[in-house]
Amino acid sequence: MRSRLQQAGLVFTGLCAGVLISLNFSANADKAAALAPLPVEELRNLADVFNAIKQGYVEPVDDKKLITHAISGMLSNLDPHSAYLDAEAFKELQVGTQGEFGGLGIEVGSEDGFVKVISPIEDTPAFRAGIKSGALIIKLDDTPVKGMPLNDAVKRMRGKPKTQIKLSILRKGENKPVEITLTREIIKVQSVKSKLVEDGYGYLRITSFQENTAAALIKHLNELYKPGPLKGLVLDLRNDPGGLLNTAIGVSSAFLPPKTLVTSTDGRTPDAKHKFYSSPEDYLRRSGQDDYIKNLPAEARTVPMVVLINGGSASASEIVAGALQDNKRAIIMGTTSFGKGSVQTVLPLPGNTAIKLTTARYFTPSGRSIQAKGIAPDIVVEEKANGSSSMRLREADLEHHLENNKDGKDKDAATPAKPQSKAPAKSKGNPSRDEDDEASEPPSRELASKNDYQLGQAINLLKGLQIMQNRP
């Protein structure tokens, strides 16, 4: 028996060494880690468990399944965003960044072994059904999700269009779970939407940061400028779960001077230490790609601007908000963002699989870490006129979340924004609420709705800035 375990230990040692070499970790790791010997005793413990399962588990278990689960467990216990991607999940990740995939349209995370909704994607089955951030999914059809790997839960929710799945959801403040049956669709996400709210006041909404989002943003800006110059612009990043880093840099570049620092990243390896500027080499994914920023209306870089954020604004949307805030380009309004300030690198493995590994933290131009803190708005405006906002799950609430490595060092990052003491007076024709009794209603899902209280306050602020600029 002991001989077998020793052989298994050698096999696992060789396996781990092979994985490290194939991922080229030894070339990128710091010298101390590169020279450190492999933990042979711990690998033998792993081999003991592997062998015990193979010999004594009630049913036979495939070797590949056991090793895959071991890899998945290693990653899922690091932080909420590191994960093992099987062939299907890897393909879905690649397709998802292109703006089209099959499923329900929910951005999810894990919490205490359950699946929690981070944010529903706009214009999807989940969004139309009223599923909100912070909801706890406890069953998929008749299968409890307690202890189910997050990737498995995501795979169950995705599937062929026109097929149905029943979700049992537990919401805060409710004693019983709610059962919702959703029909899967091909989710084609239109990541940028726009509207001329009033004469001279434009509205841009970004729902996620996909490959073509920044180029689409330029097209929408040109449409907004067709009737004439804008007096003010609102960029809505509320409930935007994020996406591609280079796209966030491209969106920021549309509003910042060329070669302005947008964000920086810092991690253990040389590749993880980088500064990103509003330059084509940082926002274009491949050489020879058409520079969409050349088609930008010149006035877009100087128009008075408000950015709306909330607890559903995460990752790439926080990069944009932080860049525009630190460079004094826009006023950030709303409530504190989600706080996902980490960078995930996708490392391909054989068999069309991959691991998604957290490799760095990102920072705003002034050096603030967003991780587990979020972007604090310059002006706090709650979702409703009565001063209330819906409860939201944030990065700091997630199990095993990465700590902010600047806690106690960055006084500016820790300073909360001053709340808005009094809502600005409504002016005729602005898109804020018309009656006080509407304040208790949830925000409308209509694009640039007149019942959108936060948007109304953003327009009021822009009008106030316009009046101040026009004073002699």
SS3 assignment, position 228: coil
Residue 315 — left, alpha, or beta (φ > 0 → left; ψ -120 to 50 → alpha)?
left
Closest to 323 in 3D by CA, of 270, 356, 354, 282: 282
Q: Rounded to 5 degrees, what angle do the CA atoms 455, 457, 463 make?
A: 105
Closest to 131 in 3D by CA, of 243, 242, 244, 239: 239
Integer Cα distance of 197 and 459 in angstroms: 9
One-letter amino acid for residue 426 of the chain: K
Closest to 106 in 3D by CA, of 138, 129, 89, 84: 129
For 400-430, the three-class secondary structure string (H helix, E strand, C coil) is CCCCCCCCCCCHHHHCCCCECCCCCCCCCCC
SS3 assignment, position 374: coil
- Cα torsion through 20, 26, 31, 33, rounded to 10: -10
Q: Is 340 a catalytic residue?
A: yes
Q: Is 199 a catalytic residue?
A: no
- Catalytic residue selected from 208, 252, 315, 432: 315
- Catalytic residue selected from 79, 236, 282, 326: 326
**Do 460 and 427 contact (CB within 8 A), yes or no?**
yes
Q: Is 123 a catalytic residue?
A: no
**Do 384 and 440 contact (CB within 8 A), yes or no?**
yes
One-letter amino acid for residue 326 of the chain: D
Largest CA-CA distance found in the chain, in angstroms, rounded: 91
Measure CA 186 to chain center.
21
- Catalytic residue selected from 340, 356, 406, 463: 340
For the record, the structure tokens of 7 come out as: 């052989």
Known catalytic residues? 315, 326, 340
